[in-house]
Amino acid sequence: MFIEPLLLGITLGVFSGLIPGVGNFVLMLLIWPFLGSFGVVELLMMYAAMASIGQYIGSIPAIIYGIPGEGSSYPAVAESKRLTSVKQVSQAISGSALGSAVGSLLVVGLCWVFLDYTDKIKYFYNTKVLVSLLFTVTLVMIFTVNNRWYVNALLIISGLLLGLIGYNSYLNINFATFNNLYLYAGLPMPVVLICLFAIPQMLHHFNDDVNKGLAKTYEIGRIYVLNPLAMLGSTLIGFFGGLIPGLTTIFSSTAAYNVSMLFTRDPVKRIIVSETANNAGAFSQLLPLLIFGVPLVGSEAILLFLMEQKGFNLVQFKFSDFLPTLAAGLVVVNFVGFLLAWPLSRAVPFFYKFNLKIVMSLLIAMLFCVTLYTGYTNYSTAYYVICFAVLAPIGVMLRNVNTLPLVFAFIIHNKIIDGTFRLYQLIQ
């Protein structure tokens, strides 16, 4: 039943880890038209597989070529310059694969142990909690996303204003509709996300390329096992780091890496610690979404939107009912991830024989095709194309800005406005 979403998630995770700038957010937009056939559980399985595999694969180009496949791979990039022998590179590759598997599965085990407590936490769920969490996530994002804090604040305000365009049933007002029938329904979400996040993100990394002459050689020999205590410590750091809004796995790997610098100068151990932590964070970042319905990153916000279209109701959803299925799926995913990141990692250099500029140009063209398709299925092709033509140049101008706060605010604007309105009514 879940084979298709798992295979799709694994495939997407491979591309997420290999191509700089093409993360989970962009890939979910690329397959947007196909996600309508998935139910809530299948969407979650697909996303969990994609997030996990992306972390596995991202470490390989970071170690071999010194380029970050995933944003959380920057510590591995930094330390890869200090790998001076075939043995060290081999240990970093195999140790990262094992550490990623251990870190991910340990977090799943921790969730299982504390499963009863996660369900009890939901008893405290109410409008006040939801609004508080949303504002906390938004505030943390202002000070953590890698722009100036006032730029992040301006982006969030811009995202909220873009989300307000149309008719709002709670406030009973029309905002910036200009008596246009299409605008009453608001700006089309796929087009806004493609133009104001996917395109800027990809253009920012457009000139990144692999220097094929600097590829490190390594052997598929014995697997390198890090000290179990260090592995456990990095898993715990990764778990809590995954709960940081806007950063999640990036914070996990960076925090674990910084701690490792206090205890060792060995680049192999530092790389393994950071890679173990980011895989641990890849699962823990889902917990606020599954328990409180609060996304921490943009791709989770898309996931939540799609799940709600399928009837996802946080009150009726029980994490304890779903965890056994998710855990079984993740065991399979992590086994596949381990194989891809170690014995099958020899295939990665073949991918980099392609010109990444051509690959990314094709992906941008595919995103435009997604715009046409979603417009066609909503009987609004001309409207979608016009929105694309207006917003795409803005996205190009924002290519050196991390627009995550803008699209995050755009996606969750209804939750913020509706929650605030209900809270106001409760206070009265």
Low-confidence stretches of the chain (pLDDT beneath 50): 213
Instruction: Answer yes or no: are the C-beta atoms of 406 and 161 closer than 8 Å.
Output: no
The answer to whether the beta carbons of residues 162 and 410 sit under 8 Å apart is yes
SS3 169: coil
**In this predicted structure, what is the pLDDT of residue 242?**
85
Q: d(Cα 283, Cα 363) in Å, to the nearest integer? A: 27
Question: What pLDDT shows up at residue 139?
Answer: 84
Helix (H, G, I), strand (E, B) or coil at 173: strand
| DSSP character at residue 194 | I
pTM above 0.85, yes or no: no
Between helices 319-341 and 3-18, what is the axis angle to 10°?
50
Q: How far apart are CA 139 and CA 177, in angstroms?
A: 29
Residue 379 burial (10 A CB sphere; 0-12, 13-18, 19+): exposed
Position of tokens 């890869």? 80
Tokens of 349: 């250099």
Tell me the per-residue pLDDT of 69-106, one tens digit each, with 9 for 90 and over.
Answer: 676 777 888 888 888 889 999 999 999 999 999 999 99
Write out pLDDT tens, residues 166-176. 887 666 778 88
Beta-bridge partner residues of 173: 168
| Beta-ladder partners of 175 | 166
Nearest C-alpha neighbor of 252 from the set 337, 144, 156, 115: 144
**How far is Cα 146 from Cα 421, in angstroms, rounded to an integer?**
31
Q: Which two tokens stand for residue 362?
A: 């094709």
Of the candidates 229, 227, 235, the one whose C-alpha atom is nearest the C-alpha of residue 103 is: 235
SS3 content of the chain, % helix, strand, coil (to 5): 75, 0, 25
Q: Long-range contacts made by residues 111-118, C-beta under 8 angstroms, separation at least 24?
A: 111/283, 111/287, 111/323, 112/323, 112/327, 115/319, 115/320, 115/323, 116/320, 118/287, 118/291, 118/319, 118/320
Q: DSSP class of residue 197?
A: I
